[in-house]
Amino acid sequence: MPYPRINNPRIKGVQIYRPFGNPLPPPLHPFISPIPLTLSPSVYGSTATPLDPHNRPSNIPAEHTHQWTVYVRGIDDTDISYWLKKVQFKLHETYPNSSRMVESPPFEVTETGWGEFEVQLKLYFVPEANEKAQTLWHPLKLHPYGPDAEAQKERRDTIVSQNYEEIIFNEPVEPFYDILTSGPPPPGRGKGAKGSKQAAAAAKKLGDRSAEIPLEESRDNPYSVRTEEAELLRLKEAIRTVEGMRRQESAVLLEKEKKLDALKREAVEREKAGQQQQSG
Ligand code: SLL
């Protein structure tokens, strides 16, 4: 279903991105660090586990050797559904219904199979974004490699393969910019809100908080040194945006002043010419 095209103007000169991977740069001083805004970080990738030959799920083809999950999610499972609406996973054509649309989080597909292949991930953004879907590719990994591969196989270790990337929104429309810069809605509210159990756990956590904020945020507590740094970066980004607008405005002003000067000079020339005609 096509999104309604909303004719919001794009914010000129602004580029905003969703990083995939490491959420924040190493803690540099936010006013020195030239690192752009990083807000709701996400990762995409897959995990794969060899099936236990003595305990295979029923109803799966005999040649299937692994169970795997391919996913797009926030770091530490933070909510990303405030900007990511749905994800289409395109599997290898050997799978029935190889195109799988996941309309709400968790954005993931779990299957069993025997072979590795490239999964196509098509990311659809919230309608406010007025953005086309973006496509990523993830090579599904089932088998370990490297010096420890044999031992890993022996232990039937889960193979994790995660990708890091940034999604860049060039000159976003204002409503989407607001959504991105406001971050996820607080737990218990909004689209990505989890059940009340989690909200209760979060409330309990807040009850026994100390004066110090933790270094890392957790599922239950979004406040941390890192989120504080993110907030500072966000402010820095806002300052940069305003500074950009100010520069644009002063360029316009300068141009107008030049024109005014030229007009004034022209008027003086005309007056002079008029006087010369009268006296001549
Ligand atoms: C390969 N080029 O040869 C790849 C193809 C296909 C993966 C991998 C089973 C699907 C099904 C499956 O694992 N397909 O039978 O339901 O390695």
The arrangement of secondary structure in 14-52+62-183, i.e. its CATH architecture, is: Sandwich (2.60)
pLDDT at 118: 96
- Which residues fall within 8 angstroms of residue 110, CB to CB, at 6 or more apart? 67, 68, 69
**How many angstroms is it from 63 CA to the middle of ligand 1?**
10
Report how far residue 195's alpha carbon sits from residue 199's, in angstroms, rounded to the nearest whole number: 7
Residue nearest to atom 9 of ligand 1 (CA): 113
pLDDT at 39: 42
Whether pLDDT at 10 is above 60: yes
Q: Find the largest Cα–Cα distance for the chain.
A: 115
51 CB under 6 A from ligand 1?
no
Report how far residue 222's alpha carbon sits from residue 160's, in angstroms, rounded to the nearest whole number: 26
Q: Which atom of ligand 1 is nearest to the CA of 66?
A: 13
DSSP letter string, 259-275: HHHHHHHHHHHHHHHHH
Of 94, 97, 118, which is best to mutate to test ligand 1, by the most ligand atoms within 8 angstroms of its C-beta?
A: 94
139 CB under 6 A from ligand 1?
no
Q: Which amino acid is at 221?
A: N
Report how far residue 170's alpha carbon sits from residue 158's, in angstroms, rounded to the nearest whole number: 37
For 160-207, write each residue's pLDDT tens digit. Answer: 888 766 677 777 888 888 888 787 877 665 444 444 444 444 444 444
Q: Which amino acid is at 99?
A: S
The structure's pTM equals: 0.60
CB 67 within 8 A of CB 52: no
State both tokens at 5: 């095209």
61 CB under 6 A from ligand 1?
yes
Q: Work out the average pLDDT over 92-96.
A: 97
Q: Between these two residues, 193 and 106, which has the higher pLDDT value?
A: 106
CB 141 within 8 A of CB 149: no
Q: Work out the average pLDDT over 234-245.
A: 79
For 143-160, write each residue's pLDDT tens digit. Answer: 998 889 999 999 999 998
For 241-263, write each residue's pLDDT tens digit. Answer: 887 787 788 888 888 888 999 99
Whether pLDDT at 128 is above 70: yes
Residue nearest to atom 17 of ligand 1 (CA): 115
Report how far residue 163's alpha carbon sits from residue 118's, in angstroms, rounded to the nearest whole number: 13
Closest by Cα among 96, 94, 144, 136 to 114:
94
Whether pLDDT at 66 is above 50: yes
CB 68 within 8 A of CB 48: yes
Residue 34, preceding bond cis, omega within 30 degrees? no
Q: Work out the average pLDDT over 53-60.
A: 90
**How many angstroms is it from 71 CA to the middle of ligand 1?**
18
Report how far residue 245's alpha carbon sits from residue 48's, in angstroms, rounded to the nearest whole number: 48
Whether pLDDT at 210 is above 70: no
- DSSP E strand stretches across the chain: 15-19, 42-50, 66-74, 84-90, 99-102, 107-113, 118-125, 134-139, 159-163, 166-170
Q: 3-class DSSP state for residue 190? A: coil
Closest by Cα among 84, 76, 158 to 121:
84
137 CB under 6 A from ligand 1?
no
Whether pLDDT at 36 is above 70: no
Query: Pairing state of beta strands 66-74 and 99-102?
Result: unpaired
Of 46, 117, 138, 141, which is best to mutate to test ligand 1, by the most ligand atoms within 8 angstroms of its C-beta?
A: 117
CB 70 within 8 A of CB 86: no
Q: 3-class DSSP state for residue 80? A: coil
